[in-house]
């Protein structure tokens, strides 16, 4: 019985800390033509609540030197209670 509890607890802890990646997922597009520039920003959250850095569309556009956004994609990577959201934009 003790081995079953240990095995079950190990499985729960392993699944809790396993990395799960979703994306990239298209989030939005504008009527602007597809540009040659791209930018990326990453937002990190702890416990799904507390943001550690800004990783929104404006930050990604600024990183890529983009003034007219064409497309927005997002990719989410989970590490237990630590979540990274990568925002990728294209445009001119």
| Whole-number pLDDT of residue 19 | 58
Q: 38-71: string of b/e by CB count within 10 Å (b at 16+)?
A: bbebbbbbeeeeeeeeebebebbbebbebeebbb
Rg of the chain taking only CA atoms, in angstroms: 18
Single pTM value for the model: 0.72
pLDDT at residue number 10: 79
pLDDT confidence of residue 82: 83
**pLDDT tens digits for range 38-76:** 999 999 888 777 888 888 899 999 999 999 999 999 998
User: In the chain, what are the domain boundaries?
Assistant: 19-91
Which residue, 67, 9, 63, is CA-closest to 41?
63
Q: Is the pLDDT of residue 90 over 80?
A: yes
- The predicted-structure confidence for 11-45, as pLDDT tens digits, reads as follows 777 666 665 666 677 888 888 888 899 999 999 88
């Amino acid at each position: 019985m003790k081995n079953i509890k240990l095995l079950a607890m190990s499985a729960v802890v392993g699944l809790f800390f396993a990395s799960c990646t979703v994306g990239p997922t298209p989030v939005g597009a504008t009527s602007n033509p597809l540009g040659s520039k791209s930018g990326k920003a990453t937002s990190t959250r702890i416990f799904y609540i507390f943001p550690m850095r800004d990783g929104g569309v404006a930050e990604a556009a600024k990183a890529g030197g983009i003034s007219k956004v064409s497309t927005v994609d997002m990719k989410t990577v989970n590490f237990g209670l630590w979540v990274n959201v990568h925002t990728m934009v294209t445009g001119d």
